[in-house]
Structure 1
Amino acid sequence: MKKISLSIGVFLMILFAACKDQKESKEDPVRASSEESKDITELSDSPRHHEWIDLEQDGRTLKAFVVYPEKKEKAKPVLVIHENRGLNDWARVFADKLAEKGYLVIAPDLISNTVPGKELTSDMDSPDEARTAIYRLDPEQVTKDLDACYDYIRKDPAGTGEVAVVGFCWGGSQTFRYATHNPEITSAHVFYGTAPEADSLLAKIETPVYGYYGGNDNRVNSTLERTKAQMDSLGKAFEYEIYENAGHAFMRSGHEANGEPGNKKAHDQAWDRMLKFLK
Protein backbone atom coordinates (compact mmCIF):
# COMPACT_ATOMS: atom_id res chain seq x y z
CA MET A 1 0.00 0.00 0.00
CA LYS A 2 2.88 2.36 0.84
CA LYS A 3 4.47 1.70 -2.54
CA ILE A 4 1.23 2.63 -4.31
CA SER A 5 0.93 5.88 -2.35
CA LEU A 6 4.56 6.74 -3.04
CA SER A 7 4.16 6.08 -6.76
CA ILE A 8 1.16 8.36 -6.97
CA GLY A 9 3.01 11.09 -5.09
CA VAL A 10 6.04 10.88 -7.34
CA PHE A 11 3.86 10.92 -10.45
CA LEU A 12 2.09 14.08 -9.33
CA MET A 13 5.33 15.78 -8.37
CA ILE A 14 7.19 14.96 -11.58
CA LEU A 15 4.54 15.19 -14.28
CA PHE A 16 2.14 17.65 -12.78
CA ALA A 17 4.28 19.33 -10.09
CA ALA A 18 1.54 20.01 -7.59
CA CYS A 19 1.87 23.00 -5.31
CA LYS A 20 0.81 22.27 -1.72
CA ASP A 21 1.25 25.22 0.60
CA GLN A 22 -0.14 24.13 3.94
CA LYS A 23 -0.64 27.71 5.04
CA GLU A 24 -3.23 28.24 2.33
CA SER A 25 -5.73 25.94 4.04
CA LYS A 26 -5.53 28.06 7.20
CA GLU A 27 -6.14 31.34 5.44
CA ASP A 28 -8.01 34.04 7.35
CA PRO A 29 -11.35 34.43 5.47
CA VAL A 30 -11.73 38.09 6.51
CA ARG A 31 -8.24 38.96 5.24
CA ALA A 32 -8.83 36.97 2.04
CA SER A 33 -12.12 38.81 1.41
CA SER A 34 -10.43 42.17 1.94
CA GLU A 35 -7.62 41.34 -0.50
CA GLU A 36 -10.10 40.06 -3.10
CA SER A 37 -12.05 43.32 -2.84
CA LYS A 38 -8.83 45.28 -3.30
CA ASP A 39 -7.91 43.24 -6.37
CA ILE A 40 -11.35 43.74 -7.92
CA THR A 41 -11.05 47.49 -7.36
CA GLU A 42 -7.62 47.52 -9.03
CA LEU A 43 -9.02 45.71 -12.04
CA SER A 44 -12.03 47.99 -12.25
CA ASP A 45 -9.86 51.12 -12.04
CA SER A 46 -7.34 49.96 -14.64
CA PRO A 47 -7.27 52.12 -17.80
CA ARG A 48 -6.12 49.14 -19.90
CA HIS A 49 -8.38 47.14 -22.18
CA HIS A 50 -9.44 43.80 -20.68
CA GLU A 51 -11.37 41.10 -22.46
CA TRP A 52 -12.36 37.46 -22.02
CA ILE A 53 -11.92 35.23 -25.04
CA ASP A 54 -13.30 31.76 -25.79
CA LEU A 55 -11.11 29.05 -27.29
CA GLU A 56 -12.86 25.85 -28.32
CA GLN A 57 -10.91 22.84 -27.09
CA ASP A 58 -12.13 19.28 -27.71
CA GLY A 59 -15.76 20.17 -27.15
CA ARG A 60 -15.01 22.49 -24.20
CA THR A 61 -14.77 26.27 -24.08
CA LEU A 62 -11.48 27.41 -22.59
CA LYS A 63 -11.77 30.94 -21.16
CA ALA A 64 -8.76 33.25 -21.20
CA PHE A 65 -8.23 36.78 -19.89
CA VAL A 66 -6.38 39.16 -22.26
CA VAL A 67 -4.94 42.55 -21.34
CA TYR A 68 -3.64 45.09 -23.85
CA PRO A 69 -1.03 47.70 -22.93
CA GLU A 70 -1.44 51.36 -23.79
CA LYS A 71 1.38 52.00 -26.26
CA LYS A 72 1.95 52.97 -29.88
CA GLU A 73 4.26 50.10 -30.80
CA LYS A 74 3.59 46.39 -31.04
CA ALA A 75 3.92 44.71 -27.67
CA LYS A 76 5.77 41.56 -26.67
CA PRO A 77 3.22 38.85 -25.77
CA VAL A 78 3.40 36.98 -22.47
CA LEU A 79 1.47 33.83 -21.54
CA VAL A 80 0.75 33.76 -17.78
CA ILE A 81 -0.02 30.44 -16.05
CA HIS A 82 -1.87 30.72 -12.75
CA GLU A 83 -1.08 28.98 -9.48
CA ASN A 84 -3.05 26.11 -8.00
CA ARG A 85 -5.89 28.43 -6.97
CA GLY A 86 -6.90 28.92 -10.59
CA LEU A 87 -7.25 32.25 -12.38
CA ASN A 88 -8.28 34.25 -9.34
CA ASP A 89 -8.41 38.03 -9.04
CA TRP A 90 -4.76 38.28 -7.98
CA ALA A 91 -3.66 36.44 -11.14
CA ARG A 92 -5.68 38.85 -13.25
CA VAL A 93 -4.19 41.83 -11.37
CA PHE A 94 -0.72 40.46 -12.14
CA ALA A 95 -1.67 40.23 -15.84
CA ASP A 96 -2.88 43.82 -15.75
CA LYS A 97 0.27 45.06 -14.02
CA LEU A 98 2.41 43.26 -16.59
CA ALA A 99 0.44 44.99 -19.34
CA GLU A 100 1.07 48.28 -17.52
CA LYS A 101 4.77 47.60 -18.19
CA GLY A 102 4.06 47.38 -21.92
CA TYR A 103 3.34 43.68 -22.50
CA LEU A 104 0.41 42.02 -24.26
CA VAL A 105 -0.80 39.40 -21.81
CA ILE A 106 -2.97 36.30 -22.04
CA ALA A 107 -3.86 34.41 -18.86
CA PRO A 108 -5.95 31.27 -19.42
CA ASP A 109 -8.31 29.92 -16.80
CA LEU A 110 -7.18 26.32 -17.12
CA ILE A 111 -10.03 24.97 -14.99
CA SER A 112 -12.69 26.87 -16.90
CA ASN A 113 -15.58 24.58 -17.84
CA THR A 114 -13.90 21.51 -16.36
CA VAL A 115 -16.38 21.23 -13.47
CA PRO A 116 -20.10 20.96 -14.31
CA GLY A 117 -21.83 24.28 -13.76
CA LYS A 118 -18.56 26.17 -13.13
CA GLU A 119 -17.53 28.29 -16.10
CA LEU A 120 -14.68 30.14 -14.38
CA THR A 121 -12.45 29.90 -11.33
CA SER A 122 -14.56 32.66 -9.79
CA ASP A 123 -17.56 30.30 -9.92
CA MET A 124 -15.83 27.81 -7.62
CA ASP A 125 -17.15 27.69 -4.05
CA SER A 126 -13.68 27.94 -2.49
CA PRO A 127 -9.94 27.86 -3.28
CA ASP A 128 -9.99 24.20 -2.19
CA GLU A 129 -12.52 23.39 -4.91
CA ALA A 130 -10.28 25.12 -7.44
CA ARG A 131 -7.26 23.13 -6.25
CA THR A 132 -9.19 19.89 -6.51
CA ALA A 133 -10.19 20.74 -10.07
CA ILE A 134 -6.59 21.54 -11.01
CA TYR A 135 -5.21 18.27 -9.68
CA ARG A 136 -7.79 16.39 -11.74
CA LEU A 137 -6.64 17.96 -14.99
CA ASP A 138 -5.06 15.77 -17.65
CA PRO A 139 -1.50 17.08 -18.25
CA GLU A 140 -1.90 16.55 -21.99
CA GLN A 141 -5.05 18.66 -21.97
CA VAL A 142 -3.18 21.40 -20.13
CA THR A 143 -0.54 21.33 -22.88
CA LYS A 144 -3.22 21.59 -25.58
CA ASP A 145 -4.82 24.52 -23.76
CA LEU A 146 -1.48 26.31 -23.47
CA ASP A 147 -0.81 25.67 -27.16
CA ALA A 148 -4.16 27.26 -28.03
CA CYS A 149 -3.35 30.34 -25.95
CA TYR A 150 0.17 30.55 -27.34
CA ASP A 151 -1.15 30.43 -30.92
CA TYR A 152 -3.83 33.03 -30.19
CA ILE A 153 -1.55 35.61 -28.62
CA ARG A 154 1.30 34.95 -31.09
CA LYS A 155 -1.02 35.84 -33.96
CA ASP A 156 -2.56 38.91 -32.33
CA PRO A 157 -1.73 41.85 -34.64
CA ALA A 158 -1.07 44.07 -31.62
CA GLY A 159 1.87 41.87 -30.61
CA THR A 160 5.35 41.11 -31.90
CA GLY A 161 4.69 37.38 -32.16
CA GLU A 162 7.56 36.54 -29.78
CA VAL A 163 5.96 34.89 -26.75
CA ALA A 164 7.43 34.46 -23.27
CA VAL A 165 5.83 32.36 -20.51
CA VAL A 166 5.47 33.19 -16.81
CA GLY A 167 3.96 30.85 -14.21
CA PHE A 168 3.44 30.60 -10.45
CA CYS A 169 3.45 27.59 -8.11
CA TRP A 170 1.60 24.86 -10.06
CA GLY A 171 1.81 27.24 -13.00
CA GLY A 172 5.54 27.58 -12.47
CA SER A 173 5.93 23.84 -12.82
CA GLN A 174 3.72 23.93 -15.90
CA THR A 175 5.92 26.69 -17.31
CA PHE A 176 8.99 24.47 -16.95
CA ARG A 177 7.08 21.57 -18.49
CA TYR A 178 5.79 23.70 -21.36
CA ALA A 179 9.35 24.79 -22.16
CA THR A 180 10.11 21.11 -22.86
CA HIS A 181 7.21 21.07 -25.33
CA ASN A 182 7.38 24.39 -27.19
CA PRO A 183 10.84 25.35 -28.49
CA GLU A 184 9.53 28.66 -29.87
CA ILE A 185 8.92 30.50 -26.59
CA THR A 186 11.49 33.24 -25.99
CA SER A 187 11.96 32.68 -22.24
CA ALA A 188 10.38 30.75 -19.38
CA HIS A 189 9.94 32.36 -15.94
CA VAL A 190 9.33 29.81 -13.20
CA PHE A 191 8.11 31.19 -9.88
CA TYR A 192 8.49 28.61 -7.08
CA GLY A 193 7.79 25.66 -9.37
CA THR A 194 9.67 22.41 -9.92
CA ALA A 195 11.13 20.95 -13.10
CA PRO A 196 10.49 17.63 -14.83
CA GLU A 197 13.07 15.10 -13.64
CA ALA A 198 13.76 13.25 -16.89
CA ASP A 199 16.84 14.30 -18.85
CA SER A 200 14.99 13.31 -22.01
CA LEU A 201 12.46 16.09 -21.35
CA LEU A 202 14.91 18.76 -20.22
CA ALA A 203 17.00 18.08 -23.32
CA LYS A 204 14.13 19.44 -25.44
CA ILE A 205 14.32 22.93 -23.92
CA GLU A 206 15.53 25.56 -26.40
CA THR A 207 14.94 28.72 -24.36
CA PRO A 208 16.50 30.20 -21.21
CA VAL A 209 14.68 29.33 -18.00
CA TYR A 210 14.71 31.79 -15.12
CA GLY A 211 13.72 30.70 -11.61
CA TYR A 212 12.41 32.74 -8.68
CA TYR A 213 12.23 31.05 -5.26
CA GLY A 214 11.55 31.95 -1.63
CA GLY A 215 14.28 31.15 0.88
CA ASN A 216 11.79 29.50 3.26
CA ASP A 217 10.42 27.12 0.63
CA ASN A 218 12.69 24.12 1.01
CA ARG A 219 10.09 21.70 -0.40
CA VAL A 220 10.73 23.30 -3.77
CA ASN A 221 14.27 24.56 -3.23
CA SER A 222 15.56 21.09 -2.36
CA THR A 223 15.10 20.18 -6.04
CA LEU A 224 17.08 23.09 -7.46
CA GLU A 225 20.63 21.72 -7.26
CA ARG A 226 19.59 18.58 -9.09
CA THR A 227 17.76 20.57 -11.76
CA LYS A 228 20.66 22.98 -12.18
CA ALA A 229 23.14 20.10 -12.56
CA GLN A 230 20.93 18.40 -15.13
CA MET A 231 20.41 21.58 -17.14
CA ASP A 232 24.14 22.38 -17.06
CA SER A 233 25.07 18.88 -18.20
CA LEU A 234 22.65 19.22 -21.11
CA GLY A 235 23.95 22.65 -22.07
CA LYS A 236 20.65 24.34 -21.18
CA ALA A 237 20.31 27.75 -19.54
CA PHE A 238 18.76 27.75 -16.06
CA GLU A 239 19.44 30.72 -13.81
CA TYR A 240 17.63 31.07 -10.52
CA GLU A 241 17.47 33.43 -7.58
CA ILE A 242 16.52 32.55 -4.00
CA TYR A 243 15.03 35.43 -2.01
CA GLU A 244 15.88 35.16 1.67
CA ASN A 245 13.09 35.45 4.26
CA ALA A 246 10.43 34.89 1.59
CA GLY A 247 8.03 31.98 1.60
CA HIS A 248 6.18 30.06 -1.04
CA ALA A 249 3.81 32.16 -3.21
CA PHE A 250 5.65 35.36 -2.26
CA MET A 251 4.43 37.13 -5.40
CA ARG A 252 0.83 36.88 -4.24
CA SER A 253 1.61 37.35 -0.54
CA GLY A 254 3.99 40.22 -1.26
CA HIS A 255 1.28 41.98 -3.23
CA GLU A 256 -0.95 42.14 -0.16
CA ALA A 257 -0.98 45.38 1.81
CA ASN A 258 -0.20 43.58 5.08
CA GLY A 259 2.15 40.99 3.58
CA GLU A 260 5.24 39.83 5.45
CA PRO A 261 8.27 42.11 4.89
CA GLY A 262 10.32 39.26 3.43
CA ASN A 263 7.61 38.45 0.91
CA LYS A 264 7.14 42.10 -0.05
CA LYS A 265 10.86 42.59 -0.60
CA ALA A 266 11.09 39.40 -2.69
CA HIS A 267 8.00 40.46 -4.67
CA ASP A 268 9.62 43.75 -5.66
CA GLN A 269 13.03 42.26 -6.42
CA ALA A 270 11.53 39.42 -8.48
CA TRP A 271 9.42 41.87 -10.49
CA ASP A 272 12.55 43.84 -11.43
CA ARG A 273 14.47 40.69 -12.34
CA MET A 274 11.64 39.31 -14.44
CA LEU A 275 11.23 42.55 -16.37
CA LYS A 276 14.97 42.61 -17.04
CA PHE A 277 14.90 39.16 -18.65
CA LEU A 278 11.57 39.59 -20.45
CA LYS A 279 13.04 42.31 -22.68
Structure 2
Amino acid sequence: MKALKKEDISQEVFDLYDDYAHNKMDRKEFLQRLSLYAVGAITLPALLSFISPNYVDTIMVQPNDPRLKSEMIDYDSPNGGKKMNGLFSISIDAKEKLPGILVVHENRGLNPYIEDVGRRAALEGFVSLAPDALTPLGGYPGNDDEGRAMQKKRDRNEMLEDFIAGYNYLKSHKDCNGKVGVVGFCFGGWISNMLAVKLPDLGAAVPYYGRQPEKEDAIKIKAPLLLQYASLDKRVNEGWPDFEKVLKENNIEHEAHFYANVNHGFHNNTTPRFDKESADLSWERTIAFFNKHLKE
Protein backbone atom coordinates (compact mmCIF):
# COMPACT_ATOMS: atom_id res chain seq x y z
CA MET A 1 0.00 0.00 0.00
CA LYS A 2 1.30 3.45 -0.83
CA ALA A 3 2.22 5.76 2.03
CA LEU A 4 -0.50 8.12 3.20
CA LYS A 5 -0.17 11.83 2.54
CA LYS A 6 -1.87 14.78 4.21
CA GLU A 7 -3.90 15.31 1.04
CA ASP A 8 -5.39 11.81 1.45
CA ILE A 9 -6.97 12.74 4.77
CA SER A 10 -10.17 14.74 5.16
CA GLN A 11 -10.29 17.81 7.39
CA GLU A 12 -12.79 15.97 9.59
CA VAL A 13 -10.03 13.58 10.66
CA PHE A 14 -7.82 16.46 11.76
CA ASP A 15 -10.75 18.00 13.65
CA LEU A 16 -11.45 14.64 15.28
CA TYR A 17 -7.82 14.28 16.34
CA ASP A 18 -7.88 17.81 17.75
CA ASP A 19 -10.93 16.95 19.87
CA TYR A 20 -9.23 13.79 21.12
CA ALA A 21 -5.94 15.56 21.79
CA HIS A 22 -7.81 18.14 23.88
CA ASN A 23 -9.72 15.60 25.96
CA LYS A 24 -13.11 16.03 24.31
CA MET A 25 -13.44 12.24 24.05
CA ASP A 26 -11.72 9.11 25.34
CA ARG A 27 -9.57 6.82 23.23
CA LYS A 28 -12.36 4.27 22.69
CA GLU A 29 -14.71 6.86 21.22
CA PHE A 30 -11.88 8.37 19.20
CA LEU A 31 -11.03 5.04 17.59
CA GLN A 32 -14.69 4.28 16.91
CA ARG A 33 -15.19 7.59 15.16
CA LEU A 34 -11.84 7.41 13.37
CA SER A 35 -12.79 4.00 11.94
CA LEU A 36 -15.50 5.71 9.89
CA TYR A 37 -12.74 7.28 7.80
CA ALA A 38 -10.88 4.02 7.24
CA VAL A 39 -12.25 3.23 3.82
CA GLY A 40 -10.90 1.52 0.76
CA ALA A 41 -7.13 1.11 0.98
CA ILE A 42 -6.91 3.26 4.12
CA THR A 43 -7.01 0.94 7.13
CA LEU A 44 -7.63 2.07 10.70
CA PRO A 45 -4.10 1.10 11.87
CA ALA A 46 -2.59 3.00 8.94
CA LEU A 47 -4.74 6.05 9.67
CA LEU A 48 -3.94 5.97 13.38
CA SER A 49 -0.24 5.60 12.69
CA PHE A 50 -0.29 8.47 10.23
CA ILE A 51 -1.88 11.01 12.55
CA SER A 52 0.14 9.99 15.61
CA PRO A 53 3.39 11.81 16.50
CA ASN A 54 6.62 10.52 14.95
CA TYR A 55 9.43 11.49 17.30
CA VAL A 56 12.03 9.23 15.74
CA ASP A 57 12.47 10.82 12.32
CA THR A 58 11.60 14.46 13.00
CA ILE A 59 14.11 15.80 15.54
CA MET A 60 15.79 18.87 14.05
CA VAL A 61 18.44 19.44 16.75
CA GLN A 62 19.64 16.20 18.28
CA PRO A 63 19.98 15.90 22.09
CA ASN A 64 23.75 15.41 21.70
CA ASP A 65 24.27 18.26 19.23
CA PRO A 66 27.92 19.29 19.72
CA ARG A 67 27.05 23.00 19.42
CA LEU A 68 25.05 22.92 22.65
CA LYS A 69 25.21 22.10 26.29
CA SER A 70 21.75 20.67 26.92
CA GLU A 71 20.82 18.91 30.16
CA MET A 72 17.96 18.30 32.57
CA ILE A 73 18.04 20.53 35.64
CA ASP A 74 15.98 20.86 38.83
CA TYR A 75 14.40 24.02 40.20
CA ASP A 76 12.12 24.93 43.09
CA SER A 77 8.43 25.75 42.61
CA PRO A 78 7.12 26.41 46.14
CA ASN A 79 3.64 27.49 44.96
CA GLY A 80 3.27 24.66 42.44
CA GLY A 81 4.79 21.21 42.21
CA LYS A 82 7.58 21.96 44.71
CA LYS A 83 10.48 20.34 42.80
CA MET A 84 10.46 20.64 39.02
CA ASN A 85 12.60 19.39 36.13
CA GLY A 86 13.35 21.12 32.87
CA LEU A 87 15.66 20.94 29.87
CA PHE A 88 18.25 23.72 30.04
CA SER A 89 20.13 24.52 26.81
CA ILE A 90 22.89 26.97 25.91
CA SER A 91 25.46 27.30 23.13
CA ILE A 92 28.91 26.00 24.07
CA ASP A 93 30.31 29.11 22.37
CA ALA A 94 28.48 31.56 24.65
CA LYS A 95 30.99 34.17 25.80
CA GLU A 96 28.62 36.44 27.69
CA LYS A 97 25.29 36.36 29.45
CA LEU A 98 22.39 35.74 27.07
CA PRO A 99 18.68 36.58 27.09
CA GLY A 100 16.45 33.67 28.01
CA ILE A 101 13.49 31.90 26.44
CA LEU A 102 11.10 29.79 28.48
CA VAL A 103 9.61 27.08 26.25
CA VAL A 104 6.21 25.75 27.36
CA HIS A 105 4.86 22.41 26.20
CA GLU A 106 1.40 21.34 25.08
CA ASN A 107 -1.09 19.44 27.26
CA ARG A 108 1.02 16.28 27.44
CA GLY A 109 4.28 17.12 29.19
CA LEU A 110 7.81 17.69 27.98
CA ASN A 111 7.87 15.47 24.91
CA PRO A 112 10.72 15.21 22.37
CA TYR A 113 9.21 17.90 20.12
CA ILE A 114 9.26 20.54 22.86
CA GLU A 115 12.75 19.51 23.97
CA ASP A 116 13.76 20.02 20.33
CA VAL A 117 12.20 23.51 20.29
CA GLY A 118 14.21 24.35 23.41
CA ARG A 119 17.42 23.37 21.65
CA ARG A 120 16.42 25.30 18.52
CA ALA A 121 15.96 28.41 20.66
CA ALA A 122 19.42 27.96 22.17
CA LEU A 123 20.99 27.77 18.72
CA GLU A 124 19.45 31.19 17.97
CA GLY A 125 21.58 32.84 20.64
CA PHE A 126 19.43 32.43 23.73
CA VAL A 127 19.63 30.36 26.87
CA SER A 128 16.47 28.25 27.09
CA LEU A 129 14.53 26.32 29.69
CA ALA A 130 11.76 23.85 28.81
CA PRO A 131 10.08 22.73 32.05
CA ASP A 132 8.08 19.53 32.45
CA ALA A 133 4.77 20.14 34.25
CA LEU A 134 4.48 16.38 34.76
CA THR A 135 7.48 16.32 37.11
CA PRO A 136 5.38 15.82 40.27
CA LEU A 137 3.79 12.75 38.63
CA GLY A 138 7.07 11.24 37.50
CA GLY A 139 7.69 13.26 34.36
CA TYR A 140 6.74 12.80 30.72
CA PRO A 141 5.96 9.07 30.43
CA GLY A 142 7.32 8.48 26.94
CA ASN A 143 4.09 8.76 24.95
CA ASP A 144 1.54 11.53 24.48
CA ASP A 145 -1.60 9.54 25.32
CA GLU A 146 -0.34 8.79 28.83
CA GLY A 147 1.08 12.29 29.07
CA ARG A 148 -2.32 13.86 28.38
CA ALA A 149 -3.98 11.63 30.97
CA MET A 150 -1.33 12.58 33.53
CA GLN A 151 -1.55 16.30 32.85
CA LYS A 152 -5.34 16.20 33.37
CA LYS A 153 -4.62 15.18 36.97
CA ARG A 154 -2.79 18.43 37.71
CA ASP A 155 -4.42 21.76 38.52
CA ARG A 156 -3.69 24.20 35.71
CA ASN A 157 -3.12 27.11 38.08
CA GLU A 158 -0.54 25.09 40.00
CA MET A 159 1.13 24.35 36.67
CA LEU A 160 1.06 28.08 35.91
CA GLU A 161 2.99 28.60 39.16
CA ASP A 162 5.53 26.00 37.99
CA PHE A 163 6.21 28.00 34.84
CA ILE A 164 6.39 31.26 36.79
CA ALA A 165 9.02 29.55 38.96
CA GLY A 166 10.80 28.40 35.79
CA TYR A 167 10.84 31.98 34.56
CA ASN A 168 12.35 33.13 37.85
CA TYR A 169 14.96 30.37 37.69
CA LEU A 170 15.95 31.32 34.16
CA LYS A 171 15.94 35.07 34.84
CA SER A 172 18.37 34.68 37.77
CA HIS A 173 20.58 32.04 36.13
CA LYS A 174 24.27 32.90 35.93
CA ASP A 175 24.23 32.55 32.14
CA CYS A 176 21.15 34.77 31.64
CA ASN A 177 21.27 38.56 31.35
CA GLY A 178 17.89 38.91 33.08
CA LYS A 179 15.82 39.50 29.95
CA VAL A 180 13.44 36.58 29.44
CA GLY A 181 10.63 35.83 26.99
CA VAL A 182 8.25 32.91 26.69
CA VAL A 183 7.02 30.82 23.76
CA GLY A 184 4.36 28.18 24.24
CA PHE A 185 2.18 25.87 22.21
CA CYS A 186 -1.50 24.98 22.79
CA PHE A 187 -1.69 24.67 26.62
CA GLY A 188 1.68 26.42 26.51
CA GLY A 189 0.06 29.20 24.50
CA TRP A 190 -2.37 29.79 27.36
CA ILE A 191 0.53 29.69 29.81
CA SER A 192 2.38 32.25 27.67
CA ASN A 193 -0.62 34.57 27.73
CA MET A 194 -0.96 34.13 31.49
CA LEU A 195 2.73 34.78 32.14
CA ALA A 196 2.21 38.08 30.34
CA VAL A 197 -0.64 38.73 32.77
CA LYS A 198 1.24 37.67 35.90
CA LEU A 199 4.76 38.97 35.19
CA PRO A 200 5.05 42.72 34.62
CA ASP A 201 8.76 42.38 33.80
CA LEU A 202 8.32 39.64 31.18
CA GLY A 203 10.32 40.67 28.11
CA ALA A 204 8.05 39.23 25.40
CA ALA A 205 5.45 36.49 24.91
CA VAL A 206 4.77 34.36 21.84
CA PRO A 207 1.68 32.18 22.31
CA TYR A 208 1.02 29.64 19.56
CA TYR A 209 -2.69 28.82 19.24
CA GLY A 210 -3.25 29.48 22.92
CA ARG A 211 -6.46 30.17 24.80
CA GLN A 212 -6.85 33.85 25.61
CA PRO A 213 -7.06 35.30 29.14
CA GLU A 214 -10.27 36.77 30.50
CA LYS A 215 -10.73 40.53 30.13
CA GLU A 216 -9.96 41.27 33.78
CA ASP A 217 -6.63 39.51 33.36
CA ALA A 218 -5.81 40.73 29.86
CA ILE A 219 -5.84 44.39 30.89
CA LYS A 220 -2.86 43.68 33.18
CA ILE A 221 -0.54 42.69 30.33
CA LYS A 222 2.63 44.78 29.97
CA ALA A 223 4.76 42.51 27.74
CA PRO A 224 4.66 42.80 23.95
CA LEU A 225 2.78 39.91 22.36
CA LEU A 226 3.29 38.02 19.12
CA LEU A 227 0.19 35.88 18.64
CA GLN A 228 0.38 32.91 16.26
CA TYR A 229 -2.91 31.34 15.15
CA ALA A 230 -4.00 28.61 12.73
CA SER A 231 -6.83 29.71 10.46
CA LEU A 232 -8.63 26.34 10.73
CA ASP A 233 -8.49 26.33 14.53
CA LYS A 234 -12.07 27.38 15.30
CA ARG A 235 -11.87 26.21 18.92
CA VAL A 236 -9.10 28.66 19.89
CA ASN A 237 -9.82 31.40 17.38
CA GLU A 238 -13.32 32.06 18.73
CA GLY A 239 -11.71 33.86 21.67
CA TRP A 240 -9.62 36.21 19.54
CA PRO A 241 -12.09 39.06 18.78
CA ASP A 242 -12.72 39.80 22.46
CA PHE A 243 -9.02 39.54 23.29
CA GLU A 244 -8.06 41.79 20.38
CA LYS A 245 -10.58 44.38 21.56
CA VAL A 246 -9.02 44.47 25.03
CA LEU A 247 -5.50 44.71 23.61
CA LYS A 248 -6.43 47.63 21.38
CA GLU A 249 -8.48 49.48 23.99
CA ASN A 250 -5.60 49.28 26.47
CA ASN A 251 -2.81 50.05 23.96
CA ILE A 252 -1.06 46.75 24.67
CA GLU A 253 1.68 46.14 22.12
CA HIS A 254 0.80 43.16 19.98
CA GLU A 255 0.82 41.67 16.54
CA ALA A 256 -1.23 38.68 15.42
CA HIS A 257 -0.77 36.34 12.50
CA PHE A 258 -3.32 33.88 11.15
CA TYR A 259 -1.74 31.24 8.93
CA ALA A 260 -3.99 30.24 6.06
CA ASN A 261 -5.34 26.72 5.62
CA VAL A 262 -3.44 25.20 8.55
CA ASN A 263 -4.58 23.36 11.65
CA HIS A 264 -3.97 23.81 15.35
CA GLY A 265 -0.52 22.36 15.95
CA PHE A 266 0.91 23.44 12.60
CA HIS A 267 4.32 24.16 14.14
CA ASN A 268 4.67 20.63 15.52
CA ASN A 269 6.69 18.80 12.89
CA THR A 270 6.01 15.36 14.38
CA THR A 271 2.39 15.05 13.17
CA PRO A 272 0.66 15.55 9.79
CA ARG A 273 -0.90 18.77 11.10
CA PHE A 274 2.56 20.23 10.52
CA ASP A 275 2.77 22.82 7.77
CA LYS A 276 6.40 23.55 6.92
CA GLU A 277 5.86 26.89 5.22
CA SER A 278 3.77 28.30 8.05
CA ALA A 279 5.97 26.73 10.73
CA ASP A 280 9.14 28.19 9.23
CA LEU A 281 7.62 31.64 8.77
CA SER A 282 6.15 31.68 12.27
CA TRP A 283 9.48 30.63 13.80
CA GLU A 284 11.35 33.32 11.84
CA ARG A 285 8.88 35.85 13.22
CA THR A 286 9.27 34.41 16.73
CA ILE A 287 13.05 34.71 16.74
CA ALA A 288 12.93 38.21 15.19
CA PHE A 289 10.46 39.24 17.89
CA PHE A 290 12.69 37.92 20.66
CA ASN A 291 15.74 39.52 19.09
CA LYS A 292 13.93 42.86 19.03
CA HIS A 293 12.61 42.76 22.58
CA LEU A 294 15.30 40.80 24.41
CA LYS A 295 18.53 41.72 22.62
CA GLU A 296 18.16 45.30 21.40
Q: Normalised by the size of structure 2, how large is the TM-score?
A: 0.77
Does residue 1:201 correspond to 2:243, yes or no?
no
Q: Aligned with 2:285: secondary structure?
A: helix
Return the match for 1:266 from 261, 278, 281. Answer: 278
After TM superposition, what 4+ stretches of structure 1 lie above 6 angstroms from structure 2? Answer: none
Q: Residue type of the partner of 1:174?
A: I
Aligned to 2:83: 61
> Would you say the 8 A contact 2:50–2:272 is kept in 1?
no
1:224 counterpart (224, 233, 240): 240
State the match for 1:7 in structure 2: none
SS of the aligned residue for 1:72 comes to coil
Query: 19, 22, 32: which one pairs with 2:19?
Result: 22
1:104 matched residue in structure 2: 127
Q: Could you say if the C-alpha distance between residues 182 and 209 of structure 1 is closer, same or farther in structure 2, counting changes exceeding 3 Å?
A: same
Match of 1:42 among 57, 62, 67: 62
**Structure 2 residue 156 is matched with structure 1 residue 136:** no
Q: 1:149 aligns with which of 166, 176, 182?
A: 166
Task: Work out the number of aligned pairs and report it.
Answer: 249
List alignment gaps of at least 5 residues for structure 1: 1-19
RMSD: 2.4
Which deviations, in whole Å up to 9, do the C-alpha atoms of 1:176-224 show, x marking residues without a partner? 0121111111111010012112x22112111111100111112111221
How far 1:41 moved relative to its partner? 7.8
| Greater alpha carbon shift after TM alignment, 25-34 vs 241-250 | 25-34
CA shift, 1:158, in A, is 1.4
Q: 2: distance between equivalents of 1:34 and 1:143?
A: 28
Which segment is superposed worse, 94-103 or 214-223? Answer: 214-223
Displacement of 1:30 in angstroms is: 7.0
Q: Which has the larger radius of gyration?
A: 2
Q: Is the 8 A contact 1:40 1:89 kept in 2?
A: no
Higher helix share: 1
Q: Match of 1:240, SS?
A: strand
Whole-Å separation in 2 of the counterparts to 1:264 and 1:111: 29
Structure 2 distance, partners of 1:139, 1:23, is: 19
Give the conservation status (yes or no) of the 8 Å contact 2:231–2:261: yes
Residue 271 (structure 1) shift: 0.7
Residue 74 and residue 233 in structure 1: after superposition, are their counterparts in 2 closer, same or farther (change >3 A)? Answer: same
Say whether the 8 Å CA contact 2:188–2:210 is kept in structure 1.
Answer: yes
Q: Quote the Cα distance in structure 1 between the aligned partners of 2:106 and 2:205.
A: 15
Q: 1:275 aligns with which of 279, 287, 292?
A: 287
Per the normalisation by structure 1, the TM-score is 0.81
Change (3 A) 1:128 1:259: closer
3-state SS of the aligned residue for 2:98? Answer: coil
Q: Distance in 1 between matches of 2:167 and 2:139?
A: 20
